[in-house]
Chain A
Amino acid sequence: INWEIIFIKKYSHSHSMDKSITLPPDEIFRNLENAKRFAIDIGGSLTKLAYYSTVQHKVAKVRSFDHTAKVINTSISCELYEISVQEEITARLHFIKFENAYIETCLDFIKDHLVNTETKVIKATGGGAHKFKDLIEKKLGLKVDKEDEMTCLIKGCNFVLKNIPHEAFVYAKHADSEFRFQNTHPDIFPYLLVNIGSGVSIVKVESEDKFERIGGSSIGGGTFWGLGALLTKTKRFDELLQLASKGQHTSVDMLVKDIYGGSYGSLGLTGDLIASSFGKSATADKDFSKEDMAKSLLHMISNDIGQLACLYAKLHNLSRVYFGGFFIRGHPVTMHTITYSINFFTKGEVQALFLRHEGYLGAIGAFLKGAEEDNPNQYSWGENYAGSSGLMSVSPDINPMQRARSGTFDMLEMDRLERQLVNLPLLQDASSYIPDTVDLTEDALAREYWLSCFEEALDGVVKRAVASQPDIPEAAERAEKFRQKYRHKLQTLRHQPFAYGSLTVRSLLDTREHCLNEFNFPDPYSKIKQRENDVALKYYQKAVKSLEELSWEERQFALVRVELTAGPFCEQLERPWLVDAYDQWIERLKGPPHKCALFFVDNSGMDIILGVMPFVRELLCRGTEVVLASNSGPALNDVTNGELQILTERIAAMDPVIQSGLKEDRLTLVQSGSSSPCLDLSRLDKVLAMVVRERQTDLVIIEGMGRAIHTNYYAMLTCESLKMAVIKNSWLADRLGGKLFSVVFKYEDPTRKPSKDTVALTPS
């Protein structure tokens, strides 16, 4: 199908010239061949299609060779383990949003590409579902099964709040970053959802299945649109909003100062407050500009909705109020006026919250309704940054690309995670925990640096990706596609840093991993990791032996140094370090052993084998149990759980301490549930959380830049913690007031006063 032509034909019937499809179709309705469980939400102007698909991924698997003790001791020693690329099937949810004008063409495309014949039904919701019922049934041959709009909306809302970090945000027009993203609260209930469609519905949501429409108003988006069209002769909703953003309401509205000459002091009403909306249009005999009337109307409606929402929030004692519906849908103008109104009426006690994927809620909910037998709520899901469009700024002033937005297809993809993710039980306050140390959405300088940094590193990443698949001829072509995709993401983030929630070093790294996976480069470092592990293993016994020859005190220092510098061959690092709590740590070690240490490991090779393992060994010798947490999936050269299993076995064969630790279950390997070079302690494997609780973990060790500096530097835990890293980035070192290869050694004990040696990682 030539989509360009089909769509261009369509435009000739439409009024605006700026409609153009900007994405090739195979990138829109992806994985249709495996698609099942369709759902559709047809609104007043936009259609949202949802389906479930299975995605075949290439994954790098490691498998231990069948080594016998004999083989190891001979000099034949070949590779440590075998790497094979396997196909793995994972589940993915696809959501696509497009203008209603394209429904027919889209249905045709889907029909032509749909292979799965099991699908018999399509769940449908939204005001337009009725209108398009026959068309859908005819085109797709599926039975349309209608679902209640509000039920779908709430289901979808619960789903995104639970599964998408940084889903909700506060809008602040005049702040450095307009979008202030909220943490995923461990308990999302209860909340108030104010849905502003043509009218307003105010819904109190108490649990997954319990919600109630507690009120509403007929003054909503339809009032703005309808009354606005009458007053200004402007037909389109977007255009009305644009008019409003340019107008001055003070010429139309009667303000307190128009009545009082100033403020109404005794009641604390300022002079600029609107006393009577449109109050001047009855008394003055002049013409009012369209812009001014639209602005006045916008204020009138936003204030009214805000006031009602506050009255309901107060009556039901709710502090979390989410706003959605087409009146809001990413429009900075309405988000601003609603926010202003809520602040005014609650004096800042309640914050207006908005959702990044608000437009998809109905489709997600309808989909979930139809997929109940797959138990989607049983799993954790993650936003796939490679396949999702991200939040667009629709403000024409902020983003000139906005106008071209109509005619494009917005997408959201969510991957089903193999593991269910939960909070680390040791977080002091899970609801206020922020993994990331620096929010690049707010820190323009840092943002500029890191975006450029990732862009410059792109060539290297592409090279490595190609090199990791030497026997596959089309790898270069795929790597090139990866380059384009990731570069495009970086460009998007330059203009819209808020596209995927707060922009952070972690999100930049994760986006890169997602893009690599997308083009079947599941583990570009696999061979390098293998080689380095191999080399490091050869030195293990020697390293342990030399450590054992040291005195206790010398050994403790050597362990830390070795751990930090990833092997005994690095340069000496003189103390005092940039952050230096080593003395407190040594003092602590002179005390009773810890019950159990949770160790989040970092790199493969020397780091894990010659740095972490001797450290672990020492802990075991002290009588401390150790839980080693490694990534579930590959990310950069980080050691994965699969690799660590093999490495630990190899080491156990050489080292009776590790051997007995494993045997006696005092050394346990768990997976973190993550495939990121960074660490989000609020999204960890459920099994890990269980082990941590069972073992009464009283020490958490986090090592490496990604996990201890870019993330978790400020994480507050209920037990002792050790955060260790060498700053291997000169810009960051500089910013922290240190030099390249500065050491951060942060030891914290929540029962004691915080160490003075903390360096603020964010500019004051």
Chain B
Amino acid sequence: MRLKSFPWFGMDIGGTLVKLVYFEPVDITAEEEQEEVENLKSIRRYLTSNVAYGKTGVRDVHLELRNLTMCGRTGNLHFIRFPTQAMHRFIQMGRDKNFSSLHTTLCATGGGAYKFENDFRTMADLELLKLDELDCLIRGLLFVDRVGFNGHPECYYFQNPSDTQSCVKRPCSLDNPFPMLLVNIGSGVSILAVYSQDNYKRVTGTSLGGGTFLGLCCLLTGCETFEEALEMASKGDSTNVDKLVKDIYGGDYERFGLQGSAVASSFGHMMSKEKRDSISKEDLARATLVTITNNIGSIARMCAVNEKIERVVFVGNFLRINTVSTKLLAYAMDFWSKGQLRALFLEHEGYFGAVGALMELLKTTEEQ
């Protein structure tokens, strides 16, 4: 067996973000070190010594998986992201660093693998190995869950999701993960019923996803980044924007078992001019977040019931630093299913596609 030559990358080019995982070998022998071309060294140094790349690239240091063994090699797995808009700059960098001389295969998944394939070829003389994003997502997710998060479980849930006071995050294991409903919230949302690593189907999807949250927030509040939007949302009150059941019925709508605090109409108060004039940007950001999250929860719940699956796993970068949404999803699953459904979350939210792509690289190696 001949090992695939370094560098080992896995890339997931989504609609909004590019997710890149990089395996940094830490067991390099002196002999290897000598043989290692300068180019490769400089890439390693560049990636591992920085936490930010250019204006928009970020390494999620807290997610780094240390001393991981992959394909007989030990190393650290780094998680890097940058906006898809910067893709052309990234390809240019690949050309400048003469990446094509490294004889590596660049495994890429996500829609961008298709969209940018030709740009990689013509601009940087690089051939992409294009991989299906859902295959990669599931493979990557199962792998990360198996290896764990530096000695801790990758998976968690919320205990007492219906009580904001006592609601706490708890680690858990995905030991016997099948069947699971996998809800991947990126720019849009895909919902998969997964029965085994290779047996899954896409149940449905919705276009109301992370891209919708950010897009609407930008239009409504003038914010520019996901972080900014979330920051505002964390300070806002959505009940100034949404019409609740009690706003219409004065209390619960008992005939249908609807609580007065339930949202009857998202943005419903905004039909009135006075209300429009009296709300803050923070309120709007919060309402947008709550609307999108509740809707995803509602569709996911219906799918779980239709597919008769009790375990609902939420992943995707929409959930990054977004405890408002994770808690809301946990609450919605629990409340509307009367405790039948449990919402599970994973620490490496949006990176599983990229991990899956990297694994494909190593798999092609094994087969050689």
Contacts and interface: CB of A to CB of B under 8 A. Distances in A.
Nearest to B85: A283
A132 interface: no
Interface stretch (B142-150, B263-271, B359-367): B263-271
A299 B85 CA distance: 25
Interface centre among A220, A279, A315, A345 (most CB of B within 10 A): A279
A259 B265 CA distance: 31
Given A198-B268, A279-B15, A281-B216, A223 B188 contact: no
A345 B241 CA distance: 30
Contacts of A223: 265-268, 291
A308 B298 contact: yes
Interface in A139-153: 148, 150-151
B306 A315 contact: yes
B207 A303 contact: yes
Contact of A279 (B16, B85, B284): B16
Interface residues of A, number: 58
Contact of A304 (B112, B134, B211, B295): B295
A253 B265 contact: no
Interface in A167-223: 197-199, 201, 213, 215, 217-223
Contact of A225 (B214, B271, B306): B271
B242 interface: yes
B233 to A, nearest CB: 14
Interface string B237-260: 000011100001000000110000
Interface in A415-443: none
A222 B111 contact: no
B45 interface: no
B266 A222 contact: yes
Interface stretch (A226-234, A355-363, A526-534): A226-234
A276 interface: yes
Contacts of B215: 252, 276-282
B243 A198 contact: yes
B263 A218 contact: yes
B299 A311 contact: yes
Contact of A308 (B84, B267, B276, B302): B302
Contacts of A252: 215
A235 interface: yes
A436 B115 CA distance: 54
A262 interface: yes
Nearest to A148: B255
Interface string A283-314: 10000100001000000100110011001101
Describe B's contact surface by its main secondary structure: helix
Nearest to A233: B276
Nearest to B113: A260
Scoring B14, B202, B271, B291 by chain A CB atoms within 10 A of each residue's CB, the highest score goes to: B271
Interface in B111-137: 111-112, 114-117, 132, 134
A258 interface: yes
Interface in B279-302: 284, 291, 294-295, 298-299, 302
Contacts of A213: 256
B206 interface: yes
Nearest to B248: A127
A680 B306 CA distance: 42
B15 A276 contact: yes
**Which of B16, B115, B206, B269 has the most chain A CB atoms inside 10 A of its CB?**
B206
A150 B83 CA distance: 47
B209 interface: yes
Given A230-B270, A259-B187, A279-B15, A198 B306 contact: no
B62 interface: no
A259 B267 contact: no
Given A277-B212, A288-B219, A307-B204, A261 B111 contact: yes
B202 A267 contact: yes
Contact of A282 (B117, B214, B267, B298): B214
Given A276-B209, A281-B215, A300-B212, A312 B243 contact: no
Contact of B208 (A150, A198, A220, A300): A300
A254 interface: yes
Interface in B215-246: 215-220, 241-243
Nearest to B273: A235
B269 A226 contact: yes
Given A282-B214, A300-B208, A314-B306, A264 B111 contact: yes
Nearest to A197: B265
A256 interface: yes
Interface in A302-332: 303-304, 307-308, 311-312, 314-315
B63 interface: no
Contacts of B110: 259
Interface residues of B, number: 62
A629 interface: no
A254 B187 contact: yes
A277 B187 CA distance: 9
A293 B220 CA distance: 12
B305 interface: yes
A266 interface: yes
Contacts of A259: 14-15, 110-112, 115, 187
Interface string A243-270: 0000000001110101111101011000
A213 to B, nearest CB: 4
A254 B291 CA distance: 19
A307 B266 contact: no
Nearest to A315: B306
Nearest to A303: B207
A274 interface: yes
Contacts of A293: 219
B303 interface: yes
A198 B265 contact: yes
B211 A254 contact: yes
Contacts of B16: 276, 279, 282-283
A275 B220 contact: no
Contacts of A254: 15, 187-188, 211
A402 B198 CA distance: 56
A291 to B, nearest CB: 14
Contacts of B267: 222-223, 225-227, 230
Interface in A69-105: none
Nearest to B247: A198
A148 B255 CA distance: 9
Nearest to B112: A259
A307 B206 contact: yes
Nearest to B226: A282
User: Which of A197, A254, A300 is most buried by chain B, counting CB atoms within 10 A of its CB?
Assistant: A254
Contacts of B186: 276
Nearest to B189: A276
Contacts of A278: 211-212, 215-216, 219
Given A198-B271, A223-B268, A256 B202 contact: no
Interface of B: 14-16, 83-85, 110-112, 114-117, 132, 134, 186-188, 202, 204, 206-212, 214-220, 241-243, 248, 255-256, 262-271, 273, 276, 284, 291, 294-295, 298-299, 302-303, 305-306
Given A225-B267, A260-B111, A278-B211, 15 more contacts: A199-B265, A217-B295, A218-B295, A222-B264, A222-B266, A227-B266, A229-B271, A256-B111, A258-B15, A260-B114, A277-B211, A279-B207, A279-B211, A304-B208, A314-B306
> 4 shortest A-B CB distances, which residue pairs?
A226-B270, A278-B215, A276-B211, A259-B111
Interface of A: 127, 148, 150-151, 197-199, 201, 213, 215, 217-223, 225-227, 229-231, 235, 252-254, 256, 258-262, 264, 266-267, 274-283, 288, 293, 300, 303-304, 307-308, 311-312, 314-315, 345
26 contacts: A201-B256, A217-B295, A218-B266, A219-B266, A219-B295, A220-B266, A223-B265, A223-B267, A226-B265, A230-B284, A235-B273, A253-B207, A254-B15, A259-B115, A261-B111, A274-B188, A276-B187, A276-B215, A278-B211, A278-B216, A279-B15, A279-B188, A303-B207, A304-B206, A308-B299, A311-B204
